[in-house]
Structure 1
Amino acid sequence: MIVLMAQWSVADLLAHADRLGLHPIAGPVTGARVERVDIAELGGLDALEAGTLAIVPAHENPAPYLVDVALRRASARGVAGLVFTTDLTLAETAVSLAERGGVAVLSAPAAKLSDLAVAIDRLLSGGASETMTRAAYAIERATAAAGLADASVDDVLLAASQALGVPFSLVDDPAVTWADNDAVCVGEVPIGRLVAAAPSGVAAPDGVAPEGAAPDGATALVGPVVASLASRVAQRHVRDRFAPTRSRADLIVELVLAESARVDGFVGQAAQLGFPLQLSHVVGWLKPTGLTDPDARPPRSVEPALELFALELVAAREEMWHIAFIQDDLLIVSTESHGAGDHQRRLREVATRIQRHAGTLAGPDWAYTLGLGTPQLGAAGLRQSAAEARIAAESAVAAGRPGDVELTDVTGLRRVLLDLYASPISRNLLGDILAPLDALGPERSATAVRTLLSYLSHRNSLAQAARELNLHPNAVGYRLKRIREVLQLDLDDPDTRFSVELACRVRLLGASRH
């Protein structure tokens, strides 16, 4: 077992220079061991024991020859150092004597003699009083640093380190949680753990502080406060840094969810927020799926942590990026000038990293499916790309491929259906045709829509529909009889047949888990 002993040097005292008001003038500031502090006149140094830090009372600088004599006596007695309470300036001979004799010369021009002696004595002896004094001073300095308008986390840690004499640092730790008292967080998202070095003046017999040594009392008191202050500064920094991006993200959510008739109204708002809506946009849609419980929602901690990760990830990229949530789904929007090459590839590069991180945050019971839209121009194009991305993600989930990356098929009929699905008005009009089937319940309604589509797409052939559905023709005929009764439509009329088939295709295209 290693027994830790308090071993203070002049260098350890200078680690508390701000609080004590000490300034090194001459002589060595490392290595000299300080065992006690005393107040002594220059002529009384012969009475001091070795290892004493002598505070010399004076209202003005002593004569140079007196300082030279005092330094010779201090060196002979093994005095650790001399502290003058004046703004001392030494002659060259005194500087040389201090160096050769191993006597540190310090000044504390703003300090009160008795207060300085008591403060240093408490520091050397430790105890509850010194612990509280050190802690209060470090908290005061850290709070002042955090209150500056342009403060950073490093500024807070530096102020606390200098005031306490214990270096603080922020380290990555995957195990840290927002509830830990040494966690530094943005909101409830941990960004690191606050770590303090071994206390000044505490060392093992070989002079090296043992790894994992418990912090001293003052450090233990100050640590949680510094972590909290650093968290507030980090939160403010993130808020100020990403506030414009988040405001534009809110606008994107409104645009994606709005009726088509309102699209033009977003152009002015976007211009005010500095969002070039007239450029080209491509959207990724990240959709979570519970693998054990499809109806469950992702852990509450995932969304803020994922947003912060994504914002930090794209902050240094040349393209304009926005991260927005619609319920539990995440929209990743990349904006560039029209005609920029590989626009979708760059979106995929970023979005797949966000997808992987989402899976790490949520755990093995969750899969995040990524749908990628195509680059589109303007406000309507952004809505179109978002609809493509959403349908791609939902189609992959519906096909039993949660966790995949799905690109939009933009050829032929599917592209036409995507255009219809992207328009709420068109979607609602087509949805009204099949609305009577919804009264049958979700499962029976979905079965009816698939049966109806198979029948209509095979030109009203019961036999071909039966082969596709793996049913007997009579079973298909029975289903269609019920469907006709519910819809009250003439499925032999060409126009009706076309509109119903189109409605079925759009319905199934947008279904997420049917």
Structure 2
Amino acid sequence: MSARLSLAGLQAHPDTGGLRRIAGPASAAWDDVVVESSESDLLPRTVATLAVLMSAAPTTPWQQDALLRRIHERGYRGVAMPGAAGFDPGAQRLAERLGICVLDVEKPIPLARACWMLLQAQDALTLAHVRKVAQSFEYTARDLPDLLRQVSANLGYALALVDETEILHQAGGELDPGLLPAIDFRPWVDFARTDGQAAASVRVDSPSRPGLRLVVFGEGLGESQLASLSVAAEVAMPAIAARILIDEVAEVNDVSASSALLRDFVDARGLADDDVERRMAERGWRTAGHHLGFRMIGRGRLDPLRLLRAVRAGLAGIGAEAHVTTAGRGVSGWLAFSATPAPAAIEGHVQGLRALHGEVARSFAVATGVGSLQRGPQGLATTLDEAADAARIAASRSATGWFVRVDSLGLEQLLLAWTGNDTFVPAAASLLAPLDDAGPDLRPTLSAYLDHESSLVATAQALNLHRNTVALRIRRVQELLGLDLSDPETRLAVHLACRAVRDR
């Protein structure tokens, strides 16, 4: 014997012949197991023992009482047999008083095998788990969640793929959130336990997704079970890592195709194009009906694919048909409606996008713009352009939480469109060129100074500088450009030039 056999650990085993507790302590544990044909074959025991009987339980109450008393007198603290579910309530109360755990089992042989593995045959238990994991790979999985489901179903235990902050995928059960902080992510193999669950985990060797662990978990798992399941997790891990890589390559290819498609659609300004319309339809992207475009861009360097994953997850709670893909240094998408939505509904969806922006902003430095409600394919192209303009403006609007809705812009939207034309941008770049030649700090300082209404204090706070430093830089800017920024018209022209060059 290498360990005690607990009822909880036995119930956690995937094949115990249909075991059910009928009476007795739920916390029962035994030092040994004896398998016999009937109660009359049981010999006296000096240690806590579970009796597994092949014969069916007696059906009359007096026979059941007599069986329990004889078992108790011989030193047994548990009995499993077919038909034990039919024990009379009086017999069940007697079992409670005697401290005998009564178990009903449909198939005693699988139960006896499970007891043997858990008590005396660690290697056999491990081999059985490994064999079941190997059988999971006989069929091709559609994706990572499908592979986890296959392994979990064959192994008979729940699986989860986690990192240090969240549960990414799970199959066969729900991982106790309190178990995640108990997992040590440093060693190759780790065992963790809470009051409700226990888990064996192994580090996933994935170069593209570091910090992942594959977790096998369940309730009532003993140390021998956790040790065996850790080996099973090690066997499953390479296939999990390979599946992650395969899915990521497929995701990158799909996102690249969808991004190119959206670019083709916007370049065509929503005008009829049979090839674009066919590709949009194949992807399930709605162009008919009404649309509300949105655009989310980085206010610094970020991975657009990671941003896309976060946005897609958040769009599930918007309550509208949504489409989104990467575009440049951010993501673009739209909400689609088959019928004209009421103004209150539109306001609700805009607030949903604002909440999504706030959620994403916890992990990414982003600015978000929302277009106006438009109709049809050309309207879709329009609202996407509006959202892009609003996002560029939002990138300099900390006062609005880096979120701008194009309907609220008015004149500024017209000025942005005008300053983005091919005539103005080169002229603006030429005007500001002396600042770039003088160093990297002057143009950003000028832009922030004008965005903050020529306030030295607000600019210094925004750039984390002393106000005297800002004042010196602005004086140097005026000298290099030969301009007086106290003049309103000059200040407006320079401000538009900064916006045009920065946005381009």
Of 384, 387, 395, the residue aligned with 1:386 is 384
Distance 1:380 1:99, change over 3 A: same
Shift of residue 395 of structure 1? 4.2
Are residue 279 (structure 1) and residue 256 (structure 2) matched?
A: no
Task: Measure, in 1, the Cα distance between the counterparts of 2:310 and 2:415.
Answer: 36
Are residue 74 (structure 1) and residue 68 (structure 2) matched?
A: no
Task: Measure, in 2, the Cα distance between the counterparts of 1:345 and 1:38.
Answer: 70
Q: Which amino acid aligns with 1:371?
A: G
Q: Which amino acid aligns with 2:74?
A: R
Sequence identity (%): 14
Q: Which amino acid aligns with 1:37?
A: V
Q: Which amino acid aligns with 2:123?
A: S
Contact 2:4 2:32 in 1 (8 A): no
Consecutive unaligned residues in structure 2, runs of 5 or more? 160-171, 189-200, 438-476, 484-493
2:221 is matched with which residue? 200
Contact 2:322 2:335 in 1 (8 A): yes
Distance 1:280 1:189, change over 3 A: farther
Distance 1:505 1:23, change over 3 A: closer
Consecutive unaligned residues in structure 1, runs of 5 or more? 203-213, 291-296, 422-426, 448-468, 477-503
Distance 1:14 1:318, change over 3 A: closer
What is the 5 A alignment of 1:8-407?
A: 8-16=5-13, 18-21=14-17, 23-24=19-20, 27-28=23-24, 30-40=26-36, 42=38, 43-56=40-53, 71-83=68-80, 88-89=82-83, 100-101=94-95, 102=100, 104=102, 106-107=104-105, 109=107, 111=109, 117=112, 119-125=114-120, 128-133=122-127, 135-136=129-130, 139=133, 169=175, 171=177, 181=202, 188=209, 194=215, 196=217, 200-201=221-222, 216-223=226-233, 251-256=261-266, 258-260=267-269, 263-265=272-274, 266-267=276-277, 269-271=279-281, 273-290=283-300, 297-298=301-302, 300=303, 303-336=304-337, 337-338=339-340, 340-341=342-343, 345-346=347-348, 348-362=350-364, 367-395=365-393, 397=395, 404-407=402-405
Distance 1:30 1:162, change over 3 A: farther
Q: RMSD between aligned alpha carbons? A: 5.9
Shift of residue 388 of structure 1? 2.6
Q: Which amino acid aligns with 2:130?
A: A
Question: Under a length normalisation based on structure 1, what TM-score does the superposition of the two structures give?
Answer: 0.58
Task: Measure, in 2, the Cα distance between the counterparts of 1:144 and 1:67.
Answer: 50
Shift of residue 217 of structure 1? 0.9
Shift of residue 326 of structure 1? 0.9
Q: Which has the larger radius of gyration?
A: 1
Distance 1:343 1:100, change over 3 A: closer
Task: Measure, in 1, the Cα distance between the counterparts of 2:212 and 2:123.
Answer: 34
Shift of residue 132 of structure 1? 1.0
- Secondary structure of the residue that 1:352 maps to in structure 2? helix
Question: Under a length normalisation based on structure 2, what TM-score does the superposition of the two structures give?
Answer: 0.58
